[in-house]
Structure 1
Amino acid sequence: MKRILNGKALVPVVLALGLVAGCATTPKEEPAAKGPSEVSQAIDSAKSAIASAKSVNWIWRDTEKFLKQAEAAAAKGDDATAIKLANKARSQAELAVDQYYLETAKVLYAEAGNASGLTAEQKSTLNAAGIAIGNAEGRKAYDLLNPLVTELRAASIKVEVVRGDSLWSISGKSDVYNNPYQWPLIYKANRDQIKDADLIYPGQTLTVDRNPTAAEVDAAVDHARNRGAWSIGVVEESDRNYLGGSLELK
């Protein structure tokens, strides 16, 4: 039924409201994709940590046992126990890796510390590594020491013997040891091709370790100063003793 007001028809208000309501309908939202559960995340983290420990062959005896127990608990739906055990396995594996790097760093630190002729930069690196070891920062100390020791181990040179050379004169060169009394170091490093320390030949190529330890230097100098009488073509008993009595003549 229409109502007439001043000659005009009025459309029912209800109809207009219905049209507006129909236009305002909100479409359904798609459910958000679920990420990995807390349990699976804990187990995956434990597996990753265990793999790292195995890669350095330094893992505690019961660590993998805790991981298996965590997986069994997860299979039964016991999430709380699974997470607890997985976190325990991860923590143990991480501690094992830290311990590996700390113990390895200690060995490298001792080796680098015994080397002579370190540059200022090398000494600074060694000092920083010592502080890291003192703070039980094994990985940091290892990362500092590993390249340093690799550098020191590779610090050797080759010297070709020319006419008139002797181990004494070669050792005394400024680009070798700058100290003739350290000649036994060259003798020992090249024992496979030097039959008599008093007799070397032109054309021979000798290896010189540029970073012997302080103990090695002391032993070499002591031997050079106290070697006793010598003669060409004869292997002196004192030389045999310096080499540990294992000189092989060819």
Structure 2
Amino acid sequence: MKTTNILKHGALSALVLSVAVGCASTQQEEPAAAPAAKDTTCQAELAAAEAARKKAASIGGEWRDTGKIIKKAKAALKAGDASKCVKLANQARRQAELGYAQALAEQTKSANSYTVQRGDNLWNISGKDSIYGDPYQWPLIYKANRSQINDADLIFPGQDLSIDRAASSADVDAAIRHAKTRGAWAIGVVEESDKAYLAR
């Protein structure tokens, strides 16, 4: 019996010793550096997307869902899905850059042209602050667009009118003089005074 107890204790000691040695020799796994690097990449991409969104918004070019995509990217980062975060942040940044480019192109175009809206006429277009700020300068628009405007009293929605930004003071004076002496508006009839103005 004594021998059996000794063997049992010996076996038990050997088992405890082998477990202890096995635990001591098992390397502790350190947290991988990759997720932290991905989080940093995602945060950088989010910052770039947010900066691009603000830039687009500053000139009225922000698309309505860019902010939503950025929120989804932040949620993905919070959930630990850094690759989804990076993908969404890049999508939002590209979208914001496109919005900025489109708004910039539209502003450049609008400086030198105007698209006729329903209810417009040369008088009210010329009076807009973004055009001349003076309705009496409408003959400048008429003259610049004589190839597409037959009757100054009749323009159509959707027409893209050129805006003369380089008119001399003599041209402006002549336009105002014509506007003040032209006579009544009559749709469908080209005024003789309009023909004379265009011939100058």
- Provide TM-score, normalisation by structure 2: 0.44
Higher helix share: 2
Greater RCO between the two (CA within 8 Å, min separation 6)?
2
